[in-house]
């Protein structure tokens, strides 16, 4: 396709954060270009592929093309093997997605609303005019290219080259970094209506193992551990031990690895002519490392504000901070509380984890809520319980 010389908004990265930003910007009248460095939207998939029903249905009607499995609850396993179940009536239902297809769907919706998409486009620098960002430089099919824009959106993951080039400090503390590994396995015999979470310092130090069923006895089986707590082993080592013990007959169909930021939102996610969204802005849930619901919200806000900025002709950081303020009101302040919760939760000993799950086991499944789970976990920290009340009740 022919690349125009100028767009209102250039989005770097076609993951859900970038595609949602592009979709909402285009729906609100802005001209939008998405630049994706990989050959195809939706690859590689670095995700357990789960999302809450509320998080998805706020924006899209579920489609069987990209729904792998409907989920009715979650089962939590203590180190001693005791478990408890939270049913959908308490925590809401959810879905395990085919993320490659879901990501493509969002990008397709953006295209239907007028956004242009170029793959194999590796953005390596920003354009500047009068000390303001005015576009990007990228390599496309072996050629050096550039495109100008009013706004550049960095949706380029936790390493965010765009953020660094714009002068935003995107450094991650090692305690706010989870290293992860995941297999797509066959012959996984678990209750496919539930997601499954295993805790324990011998199983997943500073993190947990997850099983997300995908139907046909297949499941995403993965792990996230604190980057500073591997005890000489990496995430894949721990995952292999878990799989060998629990699913010795299973066979892998795919393997992925990567890093997940489990931090608070960056203090600055905008600048003149610039916005960061998704992992680039640190918008995942620090407790779970899951970010898809949050990212859909963030992209919708960012795209709407970006289009409004273009219409008003005000591309200043002062105006673009409207996105940051709205994000903090809707999700970011919750994220702050979850970050405090993470700092407590993943320091528990195995004995403490056993006691927590034991207490939760006595609560009826339909009455066991996330609030009760977290309240039980931090029962000796009244100040944190007060903060949980504000976001859950």
pLDDT at site 110: 98
The region, left, alpha or beta by phi > 0 then psi within -120 to 50, assigned to residue 311 is alpha
* Domain total in the chain: 1
Asked if omega into 44 is within 30° of 0 (cis), the reply is yes
Long-range pairs for 244-253: beta carbons < 8 A, 24 or more residues apart: 247/185, 247/187, 247/188, 247/189, 247/221, 249/187, 250/185, 250/186, 250/187, 250/188, 250/221, 251/185, 251/186, 251/187, 252/183, 252/184, 252/185, 252/186, 253/183, 253/184, 253/185, 253/186, 253/218
What are the backbone dihedrals phi and psi of residue 178, each rounded to the nearest 5 degrees, phi first?
-105, 135
Q: What is the pTM of this model?
A: 0.95
Using 50 as the pLDDT threshold, list the residues of the chain that sit under it.
none
Residue 333 lies in a domain: yes
Return the closest-CA partner of residue 274 out of 3, 2, 12, 23: 12
The CATH number of the domain holding residue 307 is 3.50.50.60
Residue 130 lies in a domain: yes
Residue 126 lies in a domain: yes
Residue 359 lies in a domain: no
pLDDT at site 116: 97
pLDDT at site 92: 60
Residue 38 lies in a domain: yes
Residue 271 lies in a domain: yes
Residue 312 lies in a domain: yes
Residue 367 lies in a domain: no
Q: Which domain holds residue 134?
A: 6-46+100-173+265-342
pLDDT at site 91: 53
pLDDT at site 42: 77
């Amino acid at each position: 396709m022919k690349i125009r010389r100028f767009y209102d908004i250039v989005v770097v990265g076609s993951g859900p954060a970038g595609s949602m930003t592009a979709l909402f910007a285009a729906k609100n009248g802005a001209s939008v270009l998405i630049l994706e460095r990989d050959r195809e939207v939706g690859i590689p998939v670095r995700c357990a592929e789960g999302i809450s029903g509320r998080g998805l249905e706020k924006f899209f009607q579920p489609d069987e093309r990209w729904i792998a499995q409907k989920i009715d609850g979650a089962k939590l396993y203590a180190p001693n093997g005791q478990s408890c179940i939270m049913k959908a009536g308490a925590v809401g239902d959810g879905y395990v997605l085919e993320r490659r297809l879901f990501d493509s769907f969002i990008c397709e919706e953006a295209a239907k609303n007028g956004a242009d998409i170029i793959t194999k486009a590796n953005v390596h620098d920003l354009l500047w005019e009068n000390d303001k960002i005015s576009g990007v430089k990228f390599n496309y099919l072996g050629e050096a290219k550039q495109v100008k824009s009013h706004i550049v959106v960095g949706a380029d993951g936790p390493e965010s080259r765009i953020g660094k080039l714009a002068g935003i400090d995107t450094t991650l503390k090692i305690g706010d970094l989870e290293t992860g590994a995941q297999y797509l396995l066959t012959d996984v015999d678990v209750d496919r209506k539930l997601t499954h979470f295993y805790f324990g310092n011998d199983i997943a130090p500073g993190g947990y193992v997850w099983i997300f069923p995908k139907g046909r006895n297949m499941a995403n089986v993965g792990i996230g551990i604190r980057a500073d707590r591997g005890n000489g082993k990496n995430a894949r080592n721990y995952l292999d031990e878990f799989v060998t013990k629990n699913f010795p007959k299973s066979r892998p169909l795919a393997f992925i690895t990567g890093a997940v930021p489990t931090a608070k939102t960056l203090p600055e996610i905008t600048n003149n002519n610039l916005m960061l969204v998704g992992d680039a802005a640190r918008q995942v849930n620090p407790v779970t490392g899951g970010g898809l619901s949050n990212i859909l919200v963030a992209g919708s806000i960012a795209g709407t504000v970006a289009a409004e900025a273009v219409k008003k002709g005000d591309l200043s950081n002062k105006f673009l901070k409207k996105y940051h303020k709205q994000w903090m009101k809707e999700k970011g302040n919750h994220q702050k509380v979850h970050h405090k919760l993470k700092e407590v939760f993943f320091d528990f000993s195995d004995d403490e984890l056993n006691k927590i799950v034991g207490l939760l086991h006595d609560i009826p499944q339909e009455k066991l809520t996330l609030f009760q789970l977290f309240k039980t976990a931090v029962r000796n920290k009244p100040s944190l319980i007060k903060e949980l009340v504000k976001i859950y009740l």
